[in-house]
Amino acid sequence: MFAASNRWNGFNTFTLPPTSIKKDLETNLRHGINCLTRKQNIMNTLKNKVQLIGNLGQEPEIVNLESGKKLAKFSIATNDYYYNKEGDKITDTQWHNIVAWGKTAEIIEKYVNKGQEIALEGKLTSRSYDDSEGKKRYITEVVCQELLMLGK
């Protein structure tokens, strides 16, 4: 296993367990610290956070920019399972567009391949562009900030 950051705890979350947060808030109450401010700080860290575990659909596309920065673009598939009325197991696959910059893009270029299972954390962004026919297109992407390679 190789992690681009040591913040990932291996349980599909980067946040503190709720009991730790509750304990911190209780401690702050006893010491007269403004708990509302503490709660706001915790909630601010949760805004616009995306965590995904999935498999790469194709080899990452690496773009070397004139500024010297690297950009990695790829998509991952996440699967959800449920049973229909007949009792058949149904797989629902969702595809997510991912972009990564800088050192994270360099790690992706060196170590990440098609079909590989990865876990990532990032933020959701939306943008628009004009296609080759002059039509305005909209795209939603996850900007990858943390990466963990799973599996073999």
Does some domain include residue 1?
no
Domain containing residue 97: 49-152
Does some domain include residue 2?
no
Regarding whether 152 and 123 lie in a shared domain, the answer is yes
Regarding whether 54 and 41 lie in a shared domain, the answer is no
Query: CATH number for the domain including 54?
Result: 2.40.50.140
Compute how many other C-beta atoms are within 10 angstroms of the C-beta atom of residue 25: 15
Q: Are 52 and 119 in contact (CB under 8 A)?
A: yes
Average pLDDT per 10 consecutive residues for the chain, totaling 152 residues: 46 46 57 58 76 95 94 96 94 96 95 95 94 94 94 70
Amino acid (one-letter) located at 151: G
Q: Can you read off the two tokens belonging to residue 25?
A: 């808030």
Regarding whether 38 and 76 lie in a shared domain, the answer is no
Q: Are 99 and 108 in contact (CB under 8 A)?
A: no
Residues in the chain: 152
Does some domain include residue 5?
no
Q: What is the model's pLDDT at position 47?
A: 82
Compute how many other C-beta atoms are within 10 angstroms of the C-beta atom of residue 122: 22
Regarding whether 147 and 98 lie in a shared domain, the answer is yes
User: What is the C-alpha R_g of the chain?
Assistant: 19
Regarding whether 74 and 28 lie in a shared domain, the answer is no
Regarding whether 82 and 40 lie in a shared domain, the answer is no
Displacement of CA 6 from its chain's centroid (Å):
15
Q: What is the model's pLDDT at position 5?
A: 46
Regarding whether 96 and 21 lie in a shared domain, the answer is no
Regarding whether 32 and 60 lie in a shared domain, the answer is no
Does some domain include residue 7?
no
**75: nearest Cα among 15, 5, 144:** 144
